[in-house]
Structure 1
């Protein structure tokens, strides 16, 4: 529509006789919608109230049929103006809905809605132009208005009004079809402002947490660097969804909130972490000293093993004293490096070095304990080998009873490994014969037999459980 009020050669757009709000005064909009960047879509030109009667002066009145037709034409003109105003209002309202959808949704359905709205806009322009032409074609205030001309004006204005009403109904049906898209878009828009505010508050909380730990003498340089890296993200949040889009802005806000929250949590835990590292340093130093003492006791144990048992019972323990001493030495070096990292407040380095020192001391503890445990187990089996035999036979018999429960003959899958376990036990017992029995081989064999039997028991129970 190109005609505007006040343009030479055109007539102001008529309005109903009753006073109506100017078209330019849009109804109140929600805060979320006001924030959107307006799309360029066709909108009706603003109608201007036209005087029902010619301004200034008087007009002669003629009774009869002409005045009756004039009144009917004027009523048709007012009705058409009201329909024109209602269509304009509906189009403006729907335009806001389209803007809301396109601000957050680039799906095919959203693009189709924009295209359909533009097509409706062209249809609105066409019927509005015919309405304006009908108004411009007839001066109902003329003194010499004939009844036939008034009747013709009434017919054209009524037809224009009917067209305006039909198009408004089309527009309303189209608006109803936008319900799902509009609801989704408004939900996303409703998340925008709270998400951005939460991100800003998280950044502020992280900054305050860093200030608090610095007051305690902790630098937290790595956390400060991570917080500084979020500065460009904050700039984009401040630029707003109009520049970066609603969904990308919501996603960015949530990402900033998560990262700032992690920085804050780590900063708040930093004093506790420093105290924990200090405690671990003291604890591991004490443990290293204790293991040095225990490692010195391995040689007497090895001497007794060599004196009383065959070489197969102790050969694998020969390197324990030297390896224990080396492990303790390496652990002490790592502890010194960890102390230096702690003083430099290189927390990840300190934590890693402490973990390495602990692993070295754990290995040393296991090796030193293995020598003493070996001697104790060999003493026990040398004194009473039958106890180990009975323990193993009991495990086999128990598995055999389970295999026969509810059956007249055992399942070969269970019977075969149990039979093998019996034969293996007998062979292990045979190794005890002779002048220098290999007690360690005997112990490892009986333990292996019990493990094989335990696997059969587990298989039987699993199968029966699945059967139930």
Structure 2
């Protein structure tokens, strides 16, 4: 429609409310007489004036009277004009409201559906412009206030104005249907717009809380330079939030606000936890230093363990442990060096570096602990099996028999998938027992074989239970 939201709409004033204009109606039926007839005329004049004056002022009208049909047509045309004006006003109001809805959608949504809605609204606007032009042309073409308006002209005006009203009504119906179809898009857009102000405010409050937490930590003597740098990096984001969605878009502003909230919350949380983190690093420094010293003492005992293994057992029982003493000493020294670096990082309040170095120290000490423990465990297990190998044999045979009973439960013959690995385990155990015969038995090979048999048996048991659980 050609009207814009900034243009005031001037409603049409019905004819009945307009002020009369023109001149008073002239009396009829009077003719001038000759001087010889003046007496009769003068006698009749008061009576005629008495009859003419009420007619001149009755109803306040000033139009020339052309008969009842012309006035009736004029009234009908004026009614049609008023109805068309009302339809025009309704259509204009609906179009303005819908334009606001379209602007709301385009401010938030750039999807194909939103772009189609904008294109359809533009096409509908052209249709509204056409019917509006038809209405304006019909109004401009007929002056219903003319004194000499003929009945035929009034009838023609009524017809054209009624047709314009009908076209305006049909355009209004099309506009209403289009507005109904915008419901989902408009609802989503309004929801996002409703989130905008709270999201921006949450971002501002999050930054304020992070700044307060950082100030508090610094007041306790901790620098927190990395957190301060992360907080400073959010300053440009806050500037863009303050510039508003009109410049950067609603969706981008919402995403920016959410990102600022998350990052500010992370800074605040880490700042509040920083004193606890510093105390934790101090504790780990002391604990790992103590553990490194203890492990260095234990590693110094590994050569004695290896010496006894070499003296009492064949080479296969201890050969893989030959490098343990040297590797343990190297790892312990490396751990002590990393501890010194971690101490320096803590003093410089480089908390991430200190934590990373302490993790490296722990990994070194864990590996060294396992190697040193393996040497002592090896000697203990070899001593036990040398003293009484039957205990290991019985333990392994019990595992095999238990698996065989499970495989036969509810069956007359075992499933070959279960029976075959169990039979192979029996033969493998017999071969391991045979290695104990002779002057220098390989006890470590015996132990690794029996352990391997038990692992195979455990896999078969697990398979049987899974299959029966599935069939159940």
TM bin (shorter chain): 0.7 to 0.9
CA-to-partner distance for each residue in 1:102-127, whole Å, 9 max, x for gaps? 22222333222222222222222222
TM-score for the superposition, normalised by structure 1:
0.85
Q: CA RMSD in A?
A: 2.4
Query: Which residue is equivalent to 2:169?
Result: 165
1:259 paired with 2:263, answer yes
CA contact (8 A) 2:20 2:62 kept: no
Residue 369, structure 1, aligned to residue 332, structure 2: no
Give the secondary structure class of the aligned counterpart of 1:141: coil
Q: Does residue 121 in structure 1 map to residue 84 in structure 2?
A: no
Asked if 1:148 corresponds to 2:111, the answer is no
Report if the CA contact (8 A) 2:73-2:154 is conserved: yes
Provide the C-alpha distance between the structure 1 equivalents of 2:174 and 2:374, rounded to a whole number of angstroms: 89
Using the alignment, how far apart are the partners of 1:185 and 1:336 within structure 2?
A: 58
Corresponding residue for residue 62 of structure 2 = 60
**In 2, Cα distance between the equivalents of 1:461 and 1:46?**
85
Q: Residue by residue, what CA displacement relative to the aligned partner does 1:209-249 show, whole Å, maximum 9, x if unpaired?
A: 22121112222222222222222222222222222222222
Distance 1:115 1:365 in 2: 73
Change (3 A) 1:142 1:360: same
| Whole-angstrom CA distance in 1 between matches of 2:308 and 2:362 | 30
1:389 alignment partner in structure 2: 393
Q: Choose the corresponding residue for 2:203, options 199, 205, 212.
A: 199
Is this contact kept in 1: 2:5–2:96, CA < 8 A?
no
Question: How far has the Cα of 1:57 moved from its partner?
Answer: 6.5
Aligned equivalent of 2:423, options 419, 429, 432 = 419
In the alignment, the residues of structure 2 paired with residue 404 and residue 246 of structure 1 have an alpha-carbon distance, to the nearest angstrom, of 70
Q: Which residue of structure 2 aligns with residue 47 of structure 1?
A: 10
Query: Does the CA contact (< 8 Å) of 2:331 and 2:364 recur in 1?
Result: yes
Distance in 1 (CA, whole Å) between partners of 2:410 and 2:344 is 68
2:332 counterpart residue number: 328
The runs of 5 or more residues in structure 2 that have no matched partner are 24-60
Partner residue of 1:185 out of 175, 186, 189: 189
| TM superposition shift of 1:48 | 5.3
| Contact in 2 for aligned 1:403/1:410 (Cα 8 Å) | yes
Question: What is the CA deviation profile of residues 22-78 of structure 1, one whole-angstrom value per residue up to 9, with x for unaligned ones?
Answer: x968xxxxxxxxxxxxxxxxxx88335558435877662445413333333322222
String of CA shifts for 1:225-283, please: whole Å, max 9, x gaps: 22222222222222222222222222222222222222222222221111111100000
1:465 counterpart = 2:449: no
Name the counterpart of 2:282: 278
Q: Distance in 2 between matches of 1:213 and 1:230?
A: 19
Larger radius of gyration: 2
Q: Is the contact between residue 87 and residue 164 of structure 1 (CA under 8 Å) also seen in structure 2? A: yes
Q: Structure 1 or 2: larger helix share?
A: 2
Q: Is the 8 A contact 1:54 1:141 kept in 2?
A: no
The gaps in structure 1 that reach 5 residues or longer are 5-22, 26-43
CA distance in 1, matches of 2:326, 2:150: 127
Partner of 2:54 in structure 1? none
Provide the rounded CA distance (Å) in 2 between the counterparts of 1:173 and 1:328. 80
Q: Distance in 2 between matches of 1:123 and 1:446?
A: 91
Deviates more, 1:427-436 or 1:344-353: 427-436
Is 2:178 the partner of 1:215? no
Secondary structure in 2 matching 1:127: helix
Match of 2:298 in 1: 294
Alpha-carbon distance in structure 2 between the residues aligned to 1:227 and 1:327: 39
Partner of 1:236: 240
The CA distance in 1 between the partners of 2:8 and 2:136, in whole Å, is: 11
Separation in structure 2 between the aligned mates of residue 127 and residue 449 of structure 1, nearest angstrom: 94
How many residue pairs get matched? 431
Instruction: Return the offset for 1:144.
Output: 2.9
**Alpha-carbon separation, structure 2, partners of 1:425 and 1:152:** 117
The answer on whether the counterparts of 2:12 and 2:85 sit within 8 Å (CA) in structure 1 is no
Q: Is the 8 A contact 2:21 2:63 kept in 1?
A: no
282-291 vs 438-447, which deviates more?
438-447
Mapped contact 2:88–2:168 kept (Cα < 8 A): yes
- Bigger shift: residues 47-56 or 406-415: 47-56
User: Which of 74, 78, 83 is the aligned partner of 2:82?
Assistant: 78
Taking the aligned partners of 2:14 and 2:137, their CA distance within structure 1 comes to: 17
